[in-house]
Amino acid sequence: MAVDRVPVLKRCRSLGLEPGFMGLDKKSNRELKRANHKMSEYGSQMREKQKAKFIYGVLEKPFRNYFAKANAMKGQVGENLMTLLECRLDNVIFRLGFARTRREARQIVDHRHVTVNGKIVNIPSYEIKAGDAIEIKEKAKSSTRYKEVLEQTNGRVVPTWLESDREALKGTVKSLPTRAEIDVPVDELQIVELYSK
């Protein structure tokens, strides 16, 4: 299985992202020294795509598949793409505050700690639908890992499209997110332009 092993802070710096979007409260002290040249239109489109892939932890081929699916859906392609990415199970676990980072959320799902509507799901890219009930399974709830996670994610705001019961480690998807409810600093229109060339 292919895994992106680039150091997170280094990648955040190169993409001009705040580490907070990755669930990290660290700051990089280094400044990005870039030659004083203007980025081409293609370069900026590529950068937006790299940002989206990096934030959600998606590699090129699955990302292309998400775009094809978003293109086949009704409505704006860019908004559909962002909604599909936001509805990944690993992202929802992160948003509910049951993991410090999306990478940790992915691991939690991989280790079969998560149930969706009472069934164990171990696929991080599993697509969540409105009305789904997500819960950390009973056996795992008592582990010290989740106590630490809940302490660290205590101040994190849960998006309005989700409902989180932190004490019971369960959450509900009230509705699918709209673009306005997704706080990710990605210009999805540039991604659409890149793929429609």
Asked if the domains at 8-25+39-85+180-195 and 88-176 fall in one CATH topology, the answer is no
- Domain ranges in the chain are 8-25+39-85+180-195, 88-176
What CATH code is assigned to 8-25+39-85+180-195?
1.10.1050.10
| Confidence at residue 1, expressed as pLDDT on a 0 to 100 scale | 46
162 — phi, psi (to 5°)? -120, 155
User: What's the rounded mean pLDDT across residues 56-61?
Assistant: 92
Give domain 88-176's CATH architecture: Roll (3.10)
| String of DSSP letters for 25-37 | -----------S-
Give per-residue pLDDT as tens, 145-179: 888 888 888 878 899 999 999 889 999 999 999 99
Per-residue CA distances from 65 to 55, 70, 88, 89 (Å):
17, 9, 14, 17
Give per-residue pLDDT as tens, 75-130: 999 999 999 999 999 999 999 999 998 889 999 999 999 999 999 999 999 999 99
The 3-state DSSP class for residue 120 equals strand
Q: What is the 3-state secondary structure (H, E, C) of 60-116?
A: HHHHHHHHHHHHHCCCCHHHHHHHHHHCEHHHHHHHHCCCCCHHHHHHHHHCCCEEE
Whether the full predicted model's pTM is greater than 0.85, yes or no, is yes
Supply the angle between the helices 60-72 and 41-56 in degrees, to the nearest 10. 100
| String of DSSP letters for 125-181 | TPBP-TT-EEEE-HHHHTSHHHHHHHHHTTTPPPPTTEEEETTTTEEEE-SPPPGGG
| Confidence at residue 99, expressed as pLDDT on a 0 to 100 scale | 92
Give per-residue pLDDT as tens, 1-34: 466 666 777 777 777 777 666 666 666 555 555 5
Tokens found for residue 112: 């079969």
